[in-house]
């Protein structure tokens, strides 16, 4: 079993999510937003974020998968759940748990743009730029991860385990 080391405590996460929700609410004041969470990892972050937004929102999810039980993206992304809300002419904010290579997100951005929304922006809990392969413009990020390593908890998994941890932790194999 890998060892687990805490990286961001519950209070740190709460503070980060609250200040991001404030920024987003300010930026979209007077508008209505469609939040599109990328399953499965984003669901914990999205549920905390949406309850702190002070603007009207709709919520949908898109399912994407590329990992087996390894710790690096294959680049071979397939959609496991489609959008149900018609996002044509709407303001869309994609909500991701962590952007690593960026391959998953770039695939999803193109997919969502094919429905001709008015705007598409990107919000991620964690930005891990070290292994970035696709050029992604991240509009909102709670925390940039500088150290190497694989993170779990607060929705993030390793082979489907650890999503329920309230803190964000680093795995040591």
Residues annotated catalytic, as ranges: 100
Q: The dihedral of CA 160, 82, 107, 146: what is its sign?
A: negative
| Full DSSP string of 11-27 | HHHHHHHHHHHHHHHHH
User: If binding is defined by CB under 5 A, does position 155 make contact with Mg ion?
Assistant: no
Binding segment for ligand IMP among 17-25, 44-52, 82-90, 92-100 (CB under 6 A)?
92-100
Q: In whole angstroms, how close is the CB of 92 to Mg ion at the nearest point? A: 17
Residue 124's binding partner out of ligand IMP, Mg ion, none, with CB under 5 to 8 Å set by partner kind: none
Say how far apart CA 145 and CA 122 lie, in whole Å. Answer: 17
Facing residues of 8 across strands? Answer: 168
Q: Which of 59, 81, 150, 167 binds ligand IMP (CB under 6 A)?
A: 150
Binding segment for ligand IMP among 1-9, 18-26, 102-110, 112-120 (CB under 6 A)?
102-110
Count, in order, helices (H) and strands (E) of the chain.
Answer: 3, 9
SS3 category, 100? coil
Nearest to 73 by CA among 33, 25, 128, 13: 128
Residue 99's binding partner out of ligand IMP, Mg ion, none, with CB under 5 to 8 Å set by partner kind: ligand IMP
H/E element, 49: helix 43-52
161 DSSP assignment? B
Q: In whole angstroms, how close is the CB of 93 to Mg ion at the nearest point? A: 16
User: Toward Mg ion, which CB reaches closer, 41 or 102?
Assistant: 41
Q: Which of 13, 87, 99, 112 binds ligand IMP (CB under 6 A)?
A: 99
Q: Which of 16, 28, 33, 41 binds Mg ion (CB under 5 A)?
A: 41
User: If binding is defined by CB under 6 A, does position 48 make contact with ligand IMP?
Assistant: no
SS3 category, 44? helix
Residues near ligand IMP (CB under 6 A) are: 38, 41, 73, 96-105, 128, 150-152, 156
């Amino acid at each position: 079993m890998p060892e687990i080391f805490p990286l961001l405590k519950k209070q740190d996460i709460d503070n980060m999510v609250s200040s991001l929700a404030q920024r987003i609410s300010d930026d979209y004041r007077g508008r209505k937003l469609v939040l599109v969470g990328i399953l499965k990892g984003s669901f914990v972050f999205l549920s905390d974020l949406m309850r702190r937004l002070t603007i009207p929102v709709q919520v949908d999810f898109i399912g994407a998968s590329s990992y087996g039980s390894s710790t690096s993206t294959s680049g071979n992304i397939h959609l496991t759940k489609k959008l149900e809300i018609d996002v044509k002419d709407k303001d869309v904010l994609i909500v991701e748990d962590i952007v690593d290579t960026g391959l998953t997100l770039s695939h999803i951005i193109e997919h969502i743009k094919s429905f001709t929304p008015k705007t598409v922006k990107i919000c991620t809990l964690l930005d891990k730029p070290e292994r970035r392969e696709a050029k992604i413009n991240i509009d909102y990020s709670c925390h940039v991860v500088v150290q190497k390593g694989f993170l779990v908890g607060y929705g993030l998994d390793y082979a489907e385990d650890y999503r329920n941890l309230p803190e964000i932790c680093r795995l040591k194999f």
